[in-house]
Amino acid sequence: MKPDLVPILDRLRAAGEPTRLRILALLRGRDLSVGELVQVLAQSQPRLSHHLKALTGAGLVERMPEGSFVFYRAASRGDGRAFLDSLFEQIAVESPTFQRDSEQLEEVTALRAASAESYFSELAGTWDTIRSLHYPNEAIEAALLDMAGPGPFERVVDFGTGTGRMLALFAPLAREAEGIDLSHQMLTVARANLERAGITGARVRQGDVTSAPFEDASADLVIIHQVLHFMDAPGRVIAEASRVLKPGGRLLVVDFAAHDLEFLRSEHGHHRLGMRNDNMEAWAQDAQLKLSQPASFAPPEASGPGLVVNIWVADKPALPEEAKA
């Protein structure tokens, strides 16, 4: 047997079983945990874990640990993705079996949304307090879209995705969008929000913004939205964004300008009281990015001292010579 036939045969063996085919059809739509697959397919966890192990080993499914949970995703790139695209072109996904699975998945998704709503309601007071101190989010988001450029983007990555708002905003402009966050609870909120909005081109996974689970030069737009003030080493996050950016790619950073509202540190977990522009310039230079002067948005007049929101644009040079200029 030729060596190059072995992976193909492995993929055929892995996919050539009814339950595994149903699993693949579900995972092509959204990321699911073993527990959620148990609810949809009404099969035991050991049985489904065995199937998932086979699919993962064949490169048809990606395994994504998230705290005590593990989520699974249909292969999103490479030979595995090409195999699945070809396979499902030949399958009638409107068949009764797939339709029943899809309907059952909607019920499971409703449970996920309820869990997310419960968690987010506990944080609502915190979010409302901070939101009242700065310029309206809608105007900031409009500026972000303008500063990102017209697109379309091949791949957008959101560092510290939180509720998934940036993914919802940019997914219509991108072939693929993905966010990372360390918090399983926030990822639950993000998944529920994206599903509720009917956004299928964006996904989330657990990940550290200082060591992102993405390949070098794999995104043409990276967003860091209201994340850096929680970090003890923001420069590491900027450097990681630069690593993930393709040459010619763009980084958007949204954060507060330097301020003296100490209660945000003591009561809301802010590690830094905003970002100084000279620090941003130094971090960008170290990461070989070209930083522009920020666009600033003053707080509402009625908010007292308030918070200025800055949007920084940093471009990764398309050619090595440009980085030295």
pLDDT in tens, 217-259: 999 999 999 999 888 789 999 999 999 999 999 999 999 998 8
Cα–Cα distance measured from residue 87 to residue 99, given in angstroms and rounded to the nearest whole number: 18
Contacts of 60 (CB under 8 A, 6+ apart): 11, 14, 15, 24, 74, 75, 80, 83, 84
- Cβ-proximal residues to 227 (8 Å cutoff; 6+ apart), any chain: 159, 160, 209, 237, 255
Band of residue 263 on the pLDDT scale cut at 50, 70, 90: confident
Q: Quote the pLDDT of residue 212.
A: 94
Calculate mean pLDDT across residues 26-44: 90
Rounded Cα gap, residues 7 and 310, in angstroms: 49
Q: What is the pLDDT of residue 178?
A: 96
Reported confidence tier of residue 92, pLDDT bands at 50, 70, 90 = confident
Alpha-helical runs (H) found in the chain: 6-15, 18-27, 34-41, 45-57, 78-89, 96-131, 137-148, 165-170, 184-196, 234-244, 263-268, 277-286, 320-324
For the chain, give the number of residues: 325
Contact 25, 101 (CB under 8 A): yes
What CA–CA distance (Å, rounded) separates 83 from 94?
20
Are 53 and 99 in contact by the 8 Å Cβ rule? The answer is no
Residue 70, pLDDT score: 85
